[in-house]
Amino acid sequence: MEKFLLNRGNNQNNAEPQPSTSKERSESEDNQGEKEVSVNVKTSRERQTTSKTKRKRVSAVWDYFKYLAIEN
């Protein structure tokens, strides 16, 4: 279970970015000679938010374990 919780957020990091609109698709098709490489760069705000949600998730799991220990 511990491994599942740690690996839970990794799915979106491995996904390749897809052009979201038809305009972006047409722009990338126009540049046939050049290959566009987009890198997923997180800002410090996004990193901070990610770490906050991970902390909340971990604390929620620990709260659940404490609840189970009290009940039993």
User: Is-contact 29 19, C-beta < 8 A?
Assistant: no
Amino acid at residue number 12: Q
For 16-43, how does the pLDDT look when each residue is reduced to its tens digit (9 = 90+)?
Answer: 555 555 555 555 555 556 666 677 777 7
Tell me what percent of the residues of the chain surpass a pLDDT of 90: 15
Which is more confident, 25 or 68? Answer: 68
Give the pLDDT of residue 66: 92
Sign of CA dihedral 34, 39, 45, 46: positive
Structure confidence at residue 14 (pLDDT)? 47
pTM given for the model: 0.31
